[in-house]
Structure 1
């Protein structure tokens, strides 16, 4: 979409997906919790992205979240962890160099490749690493049902899900609570450096 032009109809706050941060984040989580499934990776990223947005005005991954039955799902990260998702070859190759995926029934368990590279998270800032690990610590050991219930209380998820559309896109703006200090000014600052897309 050219700069300064918007689709007609409802506009939704979006960010540009950062593939490198997604890959490094997946590998980071898999290193700290070997065998972590795609479900938990998605939920850990969601809460880390939300908290980073509220503190710094932008998410870590920039991924496009959609409302699915069991809560928010980062669509690009979800595709990264599937077979034949149609992502660029360089993205698939970089991810494959960092992690391996083992099928355990219907679950896809993710493991990080051993590496001595001290710069293996080079696309992530120290703060971004901390947000992801804090989110993993807080949500990584909750049960499937607990996480499902927690995410179903998120307004951004509920509003998107209630549209009845399949995998309805979620609006980052709705992650910002009404009680947030100077919410309107904060939202305007975010909009200056983010993108809009139609719902």
Structure 2
């Protein structure tokens, strides 16, 4: 993940927290996930660069998840960015997040904001059980039931986001080009 990708992810979180006046990280992760798959289905590329993994309670952006959970192997640079900009709850409310500043909208496109606004509207008030069930799509199921790391596939997420067949082909072509250039 590049410096820009980390800053953009930080701004995405701040945008969500500013719009919601604070939220638990479970809802933040799911809002990002649903915004990302909608963006992927509509525009053919992810809104955020984080890898999504299928955990028992649904998809999570794995690098962000490790930073929020204070994992010893987390990306230190991203964790520092988050520590400077996002306040975590304490004691019984450890899972709550609040923004320490406004999001820098220079890092977010109109398409990003559109996808985030839609996802915030649809998901911010869903009870845990409904949000969990909603996030357990076909790609989550495929990834969750595989051996090893449970990384979700971009094409599968696009399909879960209702991407057209033409968009699926476009995404596959772009992934092939990226792989050839890597």
What TM-score does the superposition give when structure 1 sets the normalisation length? 0.77
Count of aligned pairs: 176
- The residue that corresponds to 1:181 in the other structure is 165
Residue segments in structure 2 that go unaligned for 5+ positions in a row: none
- The residue that corresponds to 1:158 in the other structure is 141
Alpha-carbon RMSD: 2.5
Any idea what the Cα deviations from partners look like across 1:58-105, whole Å, max 9, x if unmatched? 111121111111111110121221225444444333222221111352
* 1:137 equivalent among 112, 121, 124: 121
Residue segments in structure 1 that go unaligned for 5+ positions in a row: 1-15
In 1: Cα distance, 2:75 partner to 2:56 partner: 28
User: In terms of Rg, which structure is larger?
Assistant: 1
* 2:43 equivalent among 49, 52, 56: 56
Q: CA deviation at 1:184?
A: 5.3
Larger RCO (CA within 8 A; separation ≥ 6): 1
In 2: Cα distance, 1:50 partner to 1:99 partner: 24
What aligned pairs does 1:15-164 form with structure 2 within 5 A after superposition?
Answer: 18-105=5-92, 107-115=94-102, 120-152=104-136, 154-163=137-146
What TM-score does the superposition give when structure 2 sets the normalisation length? 0.84
Structure number with higher strand proportion: 1
In 1: Cα distance, 2:21 partner to 2:168 partner: 41
